[in-house]
Amino acid sequence: MLWYRAWVESRTRFLLIAVCLTLFCAAVVLFHGQTELVLTDALRGLRSRTFSEHIYELVYSGTAKGMFAILVIFLGLGGLGRERTHGTAIFTLALPSTRLQIVITQMAVGLLELAVLSLLPALLIPPLSPLVHQYYPFTQALHFSVLWFCCGSMIFATSFFLSVVLAGEYTAPVACFLVMMLDAGSSALPTTRAWHLNLMWTMGDFATMHWDPGPNLLLSAPLPWARLAVIALLTLCLLAAAVRSTRKQDF
Amino acid sequence: MLWYKAWRESQGTFLMSAAAVSLLCLAFALLHKEASGGISNEPLTYAVYIWKIVYRGYLREVFVILVLLLGMGGLMRERDNGTAGFTVTLPVSRRRLVLVRAATGLLEVLGLAWLPAVLIPSLSAAAGESYPYAQACQFALLWAAGGSFIFMIGFLSSCIFAGPYTPPIAGFLALMAYSLLSDLPVAERYSLDVHDLMSGTGRPWFELSTARLISPVPWIPAAVFVLIASAFIGLACGITRKQDF
């Protein structure tokens, strides 16, 4: 029942994001010829020489990635704090389940939704590409899905934690967005650049892509497992902190 | 009383946004030597650096998102909270409720747009650099015009969609769709890109090499966006009048 409740609470947000990502990815693939012509005129420098570059620049390192990162903030907003504002927190707490169960179910449903969203481009781009006589490798798409899920879960956890500790309807999303901007800004400094702290760069495999003349594809480097493990650890810490805060809160 | 209600409802988001914009201005001005290396491999003049990081880059993106969230003030949000019934029984028309809420939000957008204009020149002086007040004020006017348009996208979205988080998502997606469409050559021809208006990118009144506005404030494009925002207010009033709470 808790799983169903968490799903009902988040499904509008999830479905809205999923529909938009689907439409965007489908449009990028199906109208790639027209898009390239338009972008050549409108945004100089974005012209893609090949289909894989086109996909990388618009989906994995461009608009879709930014859209995904910002919308995951809203997917992560959960916890019992919002229910306190609506006056429903006491009913939820009266359910025959612990606070831990309630919060962990919300997190699990959110992370499952995030996994589906991360997989969406991989499920769409490779199968749609042959329709326009192009090819995009599934392994490459899956590579980015892993990156999107790992980095997305960090954004999700930050948003979830902030929505537990901060009051106010839009305080948590604003704070989370600022944390993301702070991360992007501080990691661009010459002194911190070598640490690869920028989550958005990790998501888009920034500066590690290489050109393979054989299959004529823009390919990524192997997954940065050590960095992803650190991100996963930080995610777990944030989620644990959210659970701990919820257990101590007074409703 | 309605003005006070609207202010109380939005003050949290506004004050947090103002604090964020102020802190970013402070950081960008005082850490300009470090940050300049982060945004470009080539040495930048101070004016170009400020334009890249404040008026075109990071701060403008933060401003756009904050303004969109400030717009979340429609009555549909109150329905979700269970307070819409009380609000619509106040002895004022729904039109007036919407107008006051929109006006309060637009004043807050104006305040946010002027913050960099007040802070950047004074903080630049403190950091041993200089940035002209005239330039900062012109950008503030452009941000106010562009910001009012973006605010109204958020506001309209919160008048149409219920729930706490659906309106910001819908508003953000609408803004994304608009941004993509405004890059089409047809839209470019009519200067319909609000982001370009706010940063000056590719516009005849802006000189890219010095990153300065070279002619007086482009009143006509700015007025077009204010007019569109005003039309959106009318639309929000019409939608709210027909809704069932």
* Chain A contact for B133 (CB, 8 A cutoff): no
Closest CA to A10 of A117, A97, A95: A117
What pLDDT score was predicted for residue B234?
93
What pLDDT score was predicted for residue B4?
93
Give the rounded percent of residues in chain B with a pLDDT score beyond 70.
100
Q: Which among B38, B58, B173 has CB closest to A189?
A: B38
Residue A112 and residue A89 in contact, taking contact as beta carbons nearer than 8 Å: no
Give the SS3 label for residue A206.
coil
Residue A151 and residue A235 in contact, taking contact as beta carbons nearer than 8 Å: no
Render pLDDT for B22-40 as a digit per residue (tens, 0 to 9).
999 999 998 888 888 777 7
Across the interface, do B183 and A42 touch by the CB < 8 Å criterion? yes
What pLDDT score was predicted for residue A40?
55
Render pLDDT for A148-197 as a digit per residue (tens, 0 to 9).
999 999 999 999 999 999 877 788 888 898 899 888 888 877 777 777 77
What pLDDT score was predicted for residue A38?
63
Give the residue, A64 or A87, on which the prediction is more confident: A64
Beta bridge partners of A211: A218
- 3-state percent breakdown (helix, strand, coil) of chain B, nearest 5: 75, 0, 25
What's the angle, vertex CA A166, arms to CA A163 and CA A170, rounded to 5? Answer: 65
* Chain B contact for A190 (CB, 8 A cutoff): yes
- Mean pLDDT confidence for B172-187: 86
- Nearest 10 degrees: Cα torsion A56, A196, A187, B143: 10
Please name the residue of chain B whose CA is at the shortest distance from the CA of residue A167: B12
Give the rounded percent of residues in chain A with a pLDDT score beyond 90.
47
What pLDDT score was predicted for residue A45?
52
What pLDDT score was predicted for residue A151?
95
List chain A domain ranges: 2-248
Residue B39: list chain A partners with CB under 8 A: 188
Across the interface, do B27 and A185 touch by the CB < 8 Å criterion? yes
Give the residue, A127 or B42, on which the prediction is more confident: A127
Q: How far apart are CA A89 and CA A91, in angstroms?
A: 5
Across the interface, do B37 and A169 touch by the CB < 8 Å criterion? no
Residue B98 and residue B242 in contact, taking contact as beta carbons nearer than 8 Å: no
- Mean pLDDT confidence for B159-184: 87
Please name the residue of chain A whose CA is at the shortest distance from the CA of residue B21: A178
Across the interface, do B185 and A38 touch by the CB < 8 Å criterion? yes
Q: How far apart are CA A174 and CA A140, in angstroms?
A: 33
What pLDDT score was predicted for residue A52?
87
Across the interface, do A174 and B170 touch by the CB < 8 Å criterion? no
Q: How far apart are CA A122 and CA B82, in angstroms?
A: 41
Render pLDDT for B189-241 as a digit per residue (tens, 0 to 9).
777 889 989 998 888 888 888 888 887 778 888 999 999 999 999 999 999 98
**C-beta atoms surrounding A108 within 10 Å:** 13
DSSP state for residue A221 in the 8-state scheme: P
- Poorest-confidence range of A36-45, A81-90, B136-145, B201-210? A36-45
Render pLDDT for B79-132 as a digit per residue (tens, 0 to 9).
777 788 888 888 889 999 999 999 999 999 999 999 999 999 999 999 889 999
Interface test with A, best of B22, B52, B66, B165 (most A CBs within 10 A): B165
What pLDDT score was predicted for residue A162?
94
- Mean pLDDT confidence for B43-58: 89
What pLDDT score was predicted for residue A37?
67
Q: Which among B16, B34, B184 has CB closest to A174?
A: B16
Render pLDDT for A188-228 as a digit per residue (tens, 0 to 9).
777 777 777 788 888 888 777 777 776 677 777 888 899 99
- Cα of A190 to nearest chain B Cα, Å: 6
Beta-carbon contacts below 8 Å between A and B: 92
Q: How far apart are CA B160 and CA B170, in angstroms?
A: 10
* Chain A contact for B165 (CB, 8 A cutoff): yes
ipTM: 0.79
* Chain B contact for A8 (CB, 8 A cutoff): no
Across the interface, do A170 and B188 touch by the CB < 8 Å criterion? no
Mean pLDDT over the full length of chain A:
86
Residue B47 and residue B131 in contact, taking contact as beta carbons nearer than 8 Å: yes
- Cα of A71 to nearest chain B Cα, Å: 7
What pLDDT score was predicted for residue B85?
82
Please name the residue of chain B whose CA is at the shortest distance from the CA of residue A190: B38
Please name the residue of chain B whose CA is at the shortest distance from the CA of residue A19: B173
B66 CB-contact burial (10 Å; exposed 0-12 / middle 13-18 / buried 19+)? buried
